[in-house]
Amino acid sequence: MSKQVYDTSGMKRGPMLVALLLGTFIAFLSENLLANAFPSLMREFNVAASTIQWLSTGYMLVIGVLVPVTALLQQWFTTRQMFMSAMALFLVGTCLCAISPGFEILLMGRVVQACGTGLLIPLAMNTILALYPLERRGAAMGLMGLVIMVAPVIGPALSGLVIDTLHWRWLFYLVIPVILLSISYALLYLKNVTELTKPRVDLLSIVMSTIGFGCIIYGFSRPNVWTEPEGCSLIAIGSFFLLLLVRRQFKMKVPLIDLTVFRYPTFSLVAGLVVILMMVLFTATTLLPIYMQDLMQLTALTTGLLLMPGCILNAMLMPVTGILFDKWGPRFVVMPGLLMIAISLWQFAGLNSDTAQSFVLCNHILLFAGIAFVVMPAQTTGLNQLPLHLVPHGTAIYPAFPRNYNEV
């Protein structure tokens, strides 16, 4: 087994961070551009909401399958190789979406995009953690959160403007030049920060994880998951294969994904919190654009503009919460955020056809303010508990909850 150790102390952290953040911004911008387009795509392809949501469910399915594989890949390939591969996949997927003649090709393009995003986000998090010392990670991760949230700030409004004035294909055309810019910049400045151990590839574990995660995600995506036999069966099959996967990982000398990370209580607690927030926020943000355009009869641009203030506040708070995290620790930051999220979701439960636009606007702002206080500080806290050799496995297990707050 070969091993390469890289000393990051002499590296130019600023340009490398810019390269990572630019790639991350592109991925999140593309996702947030599409979220507001769902009602238009439903009419364009004459499909129901349960079908159009596969543009997001399929995205999540691929990322779920990639969860254990990303930890392995980061030990086989350099930072530059991983980044370039991720951006190349994203470029191919974006081109497929732009020229798609029908829903099936559009979905295929989204799946290819998901492959790129699934590789990119854990890589970016792992690289930032390797570049910066413990006492500066909160601020660095806050910058990542800021860039991630700039996409939701401009995404819905830009999407609405494009849809109302041009065509939904321009949502992908506009991204292609920026992807090429990101690749060119990374070629100049991105260096390797990882230790290449090149562990043995366990194909059986990959098969188990693919079947396990795939069946569970697909099962939960069924419209009547708990009342139809197919949904329950898929979840049961997926759970069985995941149990086999867990059992095998603990028996292997070099596991595909090191589950000993869950022996660190704080990491396990944050992982559970991330799962819950993912479920809650995806539920809320999936329904809002459809609700606002179909029931409130708002245009795509108006919908985007109403969603913008919450995203702007979130983007402004991200670096602030990173600084507060470095100074005061996670409890001071996370607990108020959880309270804001709980209040906003309680209010959203009362939506109906007569709800005022101001009500939706205020609760969306409260929800995204809460997200800013919880997500990055919580993830940084969990990952800080891990020794360096377990960080790639940790970032693969929660591959950036901040993947997308506005999309599903």
User: What integer pLDDT is reported at residue 196 of this predicted model?
Assistant: 63
Residue 235 structural domain:
203-251
For residue 343, what pLDDT band results from cuts at 50, 70 and 90? very high
Rounded CA-CA distance 137/117 in Å is: 22
Co-location of 312 and 175 in the same domain: yes
Co-location of 93 and 158 in the same domain: yes
Co-location of 257 and 361 in the same domain: yes
Co-location of 156 and 270 in the same domain: yes
Residues in a beta bridge with 20: none
User: What integer pLDDT is reported at residue 351 of this predicted model?
Assistant: 81
Rounded CA-CA distance 22/17 in Å is: 8
116 domain-assigned: yes
306 domain-assigned: yes
Average pLDDT over residues 63-74: 69
pLDDT digits 0-9 by tens, 221-250:
666 666 777 778 888 888 898 888 888 878
4 domain-assigned: no
48 by DSSP, 3-state: which? coil
Domain end marker among 231, 251, 271 = 251
pLDDT digits 0-9 by tens, 359-375:
888 988 898 888 888 87
User: What integer pLDDT is reported at residue 315 of this predicted model?
Assistant: 72
Take residue 211 and report the two structure tokens written for it: 């079947």
Q: How far apart, in Å, are the Cα atoms of 151 and each of 22, 157, 253? A: 11, 10, 41
Chain centroid to Cα 345, Å, comes to 21
Instruction: Pick the closest to residue 142 from 340, 333, 325 (CA basis).
Output: 325
Co-location of 55 and 128 in the same domain: yes
Co-location of 239 and 266 in the same domain: no
For the cut 70, the answer to whether the pLDDT of residue 81 exceeds it is yes
Take residue 125 and report the two structure tokens written for it: 């998090």
User: What integer pLDDT is reported at residue 5 of this predicted model?
Assistant: 41
For the cut 80, the answer to whether the pLDDT of residue 214 exceeds it is no
Instruction: Pick the closest to residue 219 from 61, 397, 108, 59 (CA basis).
Output: 61
Look up tokens 């995404």; give the residue.
155
For residue 285, what pLDDT band results from cuts at 50, 70 and 90? low
Domain total of the chain: 2
Co-location of 192 and 223 in the same domain: no
Within 8 A by CB and 6+ apart from 90, the residues are 26, 27, 30, 112, 113, 116, 117, 120, 179
Which of the pair, 14 or 366, is modelled with greater confidence?
366
For the cut 50, the answer to whether the pLDDT of residue 402 exceeds it is no
Q: In this structure, how many other beta carbons lie within 10 angstroms of the beta carbon of residue 260?
A: 13
User: What integer pLDDT is reported at residue 92 of this predicted model?
Assistant: 92
28 half-sphere exposure, CB direction, 13 A CA radius: 26
Residues in a beta bridge with 196: 4
For residue 71, what pLDDT band results from cuts at 50, 70 and 90? low
Co-location of 158 and 288 in the same domain: yes
Mean pLDDT of the chain: 76
Co-location of 149 and 187 in the same domain: yes
Highest mean pLDDT among 286-295, 298-307, 369-378, 384-393: 369-378
Co-location of 256 and 283 in the same domain: yes
Look up tokens 């569970």; give the residue.
216
pTM here?
0.64
Rounded CA-CA distance 190/120 in Å is: 13
230 domain-assigned: yes
Within 8 A by CB and 6+ apart from 101, the residues are none
For the cut 60, the answer to whether the pLDDT of residue 381 exceeds it is yes
Rounded CA-CA distance 6/137 in Å is: 19
Rounded CA-CA distance 143/146 in Å is: 5
Co-location of 382 and 243 in the same domain: no
Which of the pair, 345 or 206, is modelled with greater confidence?
345
Domain end marker among 190, 223, 251 = 251
404 half-sphere exposure, CB direction, 13 A CA radius: 28
Co-location of 175 and 218 in the same domain: no
Rounded CA-CA distance 286/268 in Å is: 27
